Amino acid sequence: MKIICVLLSIVFVNILANITPYLRLTALTNKHIELAYEYFDDIKGNGLEYVIKAIVCENLYTMDEMNFMIAVPDKASIAANQRLVAVSHQMNMQYQIIIKLGIMPELNAANLYFGNLNLPALAAWRRRFTRNALRNIIRRELIRNETERGPERVTFNQKCRFLGLWMSIIVPTLYTKSTHTGPNNDCVITDIANHITIYRSIEGKYWQVDANDINHRIIQLDEQLY
């Protein structure tokens, strides 16, 4: 509970007057993410991968909420009447890391000094870690599972959401608005400009296909992950 008290004191002082508390909280969330990325044990594996997979598979959050937690914290609305909502995304990410892994940054003077904060830079820094984590999850849960024909560990809808988050990280200016699964084993990803990207499993491989002709293969997903 000590971490929550510290966060509340950081966040809610003058939060409606300026965006500095949101910037500080985003930076502190990045520190949690870095610790999760460095965490590993034989049961959970990589900590950040474990947390992201749980966030998606437990179905507790909307696509927007997951985007702002994992991929595009810089795209959350920080207008005065929306700052408390934006803050909740960062606190939710910290909370998931704390309860899933039991780790948190040491809140000493060095960790609480954030220097010259810049939201785009903080978001880009976060994506360095979450991109690697999502890439590994997708390789493990989609590509390897397809080739090895092992037991399904996540649903196809959840796989599609992993891909939607991945697309948000790759093109953050056009982050994913929604995902849904079609009748032909399709993952349909729609971004905030209403562009549609479709992935299909064809002959045991995942492909990006033409949105207007789902039988036309564009590129294998495996190639896009490098």
Q: HSE of 74 in the Cβ direction (CA atoms, 13 Å)?
A: 18
User: What predicted TM-score, i.e. pTM, was given to this entire model?
Assistant: 0.86
Q: Which residues share a beta bridge with 210? A: 213
Residue type, 166: W
35 to 9, 48, 91, 98, 208: CA distances (angstroms): 22, 8, 15, 10, 33
Q: At residue 16, does pLDDT exceed 50?
A: no
For residue 183, the surrounding DSSP H or E stretch is: none
Percent of the chain predicted with pLDDT > 70:
82
The residue-averaged pLDDT of 197-202 equals 93
The residue-averaged pLDDT of 18-26 equals 84
Number of Cβ within 10 Å of residue 116's Cβ equals 6
Q: Pairing state of beta strands 40-41 and 45-46? A: antiparallel
The residue-averaged pLDDT of 112-116 equals 58
Asked if residue 33 lies in contact with residue 127, where contact means CB atoms within 8 angstroms, the answer is no
Instruction: Please give the Cα distance from 170 to 225 (Å, whole number).
Output: 10
The pLDDT, as a whole number, for residue 13 is 46
Instruction: Give domain limits for the chain.
Output: 2-224
Instruction: Please give the Cα distance from 32 to 106 (Å, whole number).
Output: 10
Least Cα distance to 74 among 30, 10, 31 occurs for 30
Q: At residue 133, does pLDDT exceed 90?
A: yes
